[in-house]
Structure 1
């Protein structure tokens, strides 16, 4: 194929040896915080791209351009979802406290895929745990990977 028929972004990515960031096929549900994080990421990437362009750093330009395409797509598909206050059913954006068979308690906030950070207590709405919890209420049991967890508390965060 003639180089005249390749997309500019393809040649940028070839320079840096990078591919596109895969965009999830799931609904892009986001919390208010998640939406703010996307907007912040976009602003930072635009700033970094401008700096890279001033330095004519082709690798950095390719990397920032790729990430900007990813976050722009995520922003365009974002669906803000706020849980109904006082809901007694597990929903997106809620905090859920669980107790395992061993008496150990854990607390998860169910958030969007890009916002999820299990090490900080948030899980993606498409994770097996979140899927097992949706629609349940305090006292119900969710089973994930052969382990049962009782829902002991729901919160708006």
Structure 2
């Protein structure tokens, strides 16, 4: 085969740029740490499957898996596990599930979790989010100011719970 048709030195063989890592401390709940480990194992298995393909002309999926593995390994190296049992029960801290009431009395619950575990649709927020920053350190009965893009809102802390690792 002519050397002109071989891409051994081309951009297809370059690794993809790394995903950006957060500058914030990487606090993780036990559930979040387990999820990171599971994602790493799944991605490693996917990479092995991709490398075992008979037809490997398209290397982009392999490069993407390698990049994701580098990211997940970095997140695991920087992980700061937080023992939820040692958190103060009367104060909002990392891993707390906080129930708040807005000015109309509507209640919502949020759980302060690590960045990789945050999911707004599940009510899980990162500790550096505006809502979490407003709630951290608060006690039941405290009214805190939540600065949102749409303006500020006062919310009252109704309950604080520390769910066990799920």
TM-score bin (small chain): 0.7 to 0.9
Distance in 2 between residues matched to 1:30 and 1:155, nearest whole Å: 17
Please say if residues 87 and 93 of structure 2, whose CA atoms lie closer than 8 Å, have aligned partners that are also in contact: no
Aligned equivalents of 2:30, 2:18: Cα separation in 1: 26
Distance across 1 between alignment mates of 2:109 and 2:49: 41
SS in 2 for 1:114: helix
CA RMSD in angstroms, aligned pairs only: 1.9
Q: Runs of 5+ in structure 1 lacking a partner?
A: 1-7, 14-18
Shift of 1:85: 5.6
Alignment of 1:3-152 (within 5 A): 11-13=14-16, 19-55=17-53, 56=56, 57-83=58-84, 84=86, 87-145=89-147, 146-152=152-158
Please report the TM-score for the alignment, with normalisation by the length of structure 2. 0.82
Deviation at 1:100, TM superposition (A): 0.2
For residue 102 of structure 1, report the CA deviation from its aligned partner: 1.1
Provide the C-alpha distance between the structure 1 equivalents of 2:121 and 2:13, rounded to a whole number of angstroms.
35
User: Unaligned 5+ residue runs, structure 2?
Assistant: 1-10
Conservation of the 8 A alpha-carbon contact between 2:144 and 2:156: yes
The answer on whether the counterparts of 2:12 and 2:60 sit within 8 Å (CA) in structure 1 is: no
How many residues were matched structurally? 146
Q: Distance in 2 between matches of 1:93 and 1:123?
A: 10
Query: Structure 1 runs of 4+ off > 6 angstroms?
Result: none
Q: Which has the larger radius of gyration?
A: 2
How does the TM-score come out when normalised to structure 1?
0.87
Q: Distance in 1 between matches of 2:96 and 2:13?
A: 40
Distance 1:10 1:132, change over 3 A: farther
Give the whole-Å Cα distance in 1 for the aligned partners of 2:39 and 2:87.
29
Report how far residue 86 of structure 1 moved: 5.7
Question: Greater share of helix residues, 1 or 2?
Answer: 1
Partner of 2:8: none
